[in-house]
Structure 1
Amino acid sequence: MSEAIFHLEAEVRTDLGKGASRRLRREDKVPAIVYGADKEPVSVTLAHNKLVQAQEFEAFYSHVLTLDIAGEKVDAIVKDMQRHPYKPKILHVDFLRVDASKAIHTTVPVHFINEDTAPAIKTEGGHAEHHINEIDVACLPGNLPEFIEVDLTNVALGQTLHLSDVTFPEGVSSVELAKGESHDLAVVTIKAAKVKAADEAAEGEADSE
C-alpha cells in the first residue's frame, strides 16, 4: 500500500458558507475542517480526486494522516465524512488533530479471520453472524491499529464472542468495556444453519411420537 494515501495536500480557505462550498465542489474541491488538540479550527480544501482515491483504502479511516496545510504538516484522523446521497461525490470532511502524547478515541474495523476453515462452520454447518464490524478504541496515536482481528478457529457452534474475548493490540483498549460489564457487546456468534436446525427439530418431533 502506498504511503501517499496517508499524505494529503490542503489549502486554507477563507471564503466560507454554503455558497462558497458549492463553488468549491464545482471546481472538484472538497471543503473540510481541521480541529482539536487545543487549537483553533482551520477551514481547508482538498482535491476531490485525491481524496476519492485515498478513501478507497480501508486503512484511510483508521490511520493517522498527514495534512500539508500551507507548508505545515498536521497529524489528524478522519472523524466524519459527508457524501452525496447518490452521486460518487464527497461533500465535506471533518479531521481531528492528534497529539502524539494524548490518547484518542476512534473506531477501527474488525477483520474476522479463519471463518471459512473454522470447524464449527466448515464441518458442522454453522455460519458466522457478525454483530459489529468496527470497535471503538482508545489509544495513543502511535498505537492506532488499522484493524482488529477476531479469530474464529476455536469458536464452537452456538458460541458468542464478546468484546472481552477480543485480543486487543498492546496499548489499545475498548471504549465500551471501560464503561463496565454491561457494555461487553456481542461481536460474533456461530449459529447453526437454519435448514439443519429445522431438520433436527423435525427429528425430535418424530422421536417423541
Structure 2
Amino acid sequence: MSEVKLAAEARTEFGKGAARRIRRADKVPGVLYGHGTDPVHLTLPGHELQMALRTPNVLLSLSVGGKNELAIPKAVQRDAVKGFLEHVDLLLVKRGEKVSVEIPVHAEGDLAPGGNLLEHVLNALPVEAEATHIPESVTVSVEGLEAGASVLAKDITLPSGVVLGIEEDAVVLQVLAAQAEEAAATEGDEGAEAAEA
C-alpha cells in the first residue's frame, strides 16, 4: 500500500465561483471528515492528487496548516467529458484503524476451451482492512473453469489482516456458456421458416 504526501491548504471560500478559481489554478477543492470532527474544507494540488488517485484506496498523508493527517479517498467527482478532478471527499483515518473499502478484482488464467465468457459480477470486493495496509487489488485464478462455474467471495485468498465485507457465498465471478452457436442455429431456423412461407 502506497502512502502519498500532499500539501493541502485550508479553504475559506465556498461556492461555484470559488471552486472555479481553485480549478483554474490547477488545484482541486476537497473536504476532509471523520472521527466525529467538523469537516475541513481543503484545496489540494491538482496534478499530484490526480497521480495519487491512480492507485485504488491510496493512503494520503496530508500536511494541513502544520498538522499531519492520514486520509483515504471516499468520493471523487470528475468532469464527465474531460475527466479532470472537480472535487474529492477524504475520510480521516488513524494508523491501526480498520476501514471498509472496495478493492479491485483481477482474473488471471484461461477458461476451459469452448469460447465461454467470464462475467465479473463484482468488479470490486468489499473488505475491511487496516487503514495503512489496504491491498491495492486481489487476483483470482480462473484457469480451466467450465461453463456454469463461479468464484465465490470465500474462494478468494485475502492478505493477512483483511476480512470480507460481504456474505461468503456472494458470487464474484461466473463463467457463462458461449451463445454464438445457439444464436446462429436460431437464425438458420428462422430463415428456413421464412423460405417455406
Give TM-score, length-normalised by structure 1: 0.78
Q: Distance in 1 between matches of 2:37 and 2:181?
A: 59
The structure whose residues are more often strand, as a share, is: 2
- In the TM superposition, residue 36 of structure 1 has moved relative to its aligned partner by 0.9
Relative distance call for 1:65 and 1:24 in structure 2 (3 A) is: same
Match status 1:112 vs 2:107: yes
Relative distance call for 1:27 and 1:151 in structure 2 (3 A) is: same
Q: Distance in 1 between matches of 2:123 and 2:162?
A: 17
Relative distance call for 1:99 and 1:109 in structure 2 (3 A) is: same
Q: Which residue of 2 aligns with 1:145?
A: 135
* Count of matched residue pairs: 186
2:46 is aligned, of 40, 48, 52, to: 48
Choose 97-106 or 151-160, whichever is displaced more.
151-160
Contact 2:103/2:124 (<8 A) preserved = yes
**Consecutive unaligned residues in structure 2, runs of 5 or more:** 187-197
Contact 1:105/1:136 (<8 A) preserved = yes
2:7 is aligned, of 1, 6, 9, to: 9
1:98-119 alpha-carbon deviations (Å, 9 max, x no partner): 11232101111111122xx34x
Q: Distance in 2 between matches of 1:90 and 1:67?
A: 18
- In the TM superposition, residue 163 of structure 1 has moved relative to its aligned partner by 1.4
1:194 is aligned, of 172, 179, 184, to: 179
Q: Distance in 1 between matches of 2:23 and 2:97?
A: 34
Q: Distance in 1 between matches of 2:181 and 2:102?
A: 36
- In the TM superposition, residue 154 of structure 1 has moved relative to its aligned partner by 4.7
- In the TM superposition, residue 185 of structure 1 has moved relative to its aligned partner by 2.4
- In the TM superposition, residue 199 of structure 1 has moved relative to its aligned partner by 7.7
Amino acid at match of 2:4: F
Contact 2:114/2:178 (<8 A) preserved = no
Contact 1:62/1:147 (<8 A) preserved = no
Superposed counterparts of 1:1-209, under 5 Å: 6-55=4-53, 57=54, 59=55, 61-114=56-109, 117-118=110-111, 120=112, 123-177=113-167, 184-196=169-181
Give TM-score, length-normalised by structure 2: 0.83
> SS of the counterpart of 1:143?
coil
- In the TM superposition, residue 147 of structure 1 has moved relative to its aligned partner by 0.5
> SS of the counterpart of 1:20?
helix
1:116-159 alpha-carbon deviations (Å, 9 max, x no partner): x34x1xx3332211111101111211331110111112533320
Contact 1:11/1:70 (<8 A) preserved = yes
Q: Distance in 2 between matches of 1:53 and 1:99?
A: 23
> SS of the counterpart of 2:132?
helix
Contact 2:32/2:42 (<8 A) preserved = yes
Percentage identity across aligned positions? 34
Q: Distance in 2 between matches of 1:142 and 1:29?
A: 26
Amino acid at match of 1:8: L
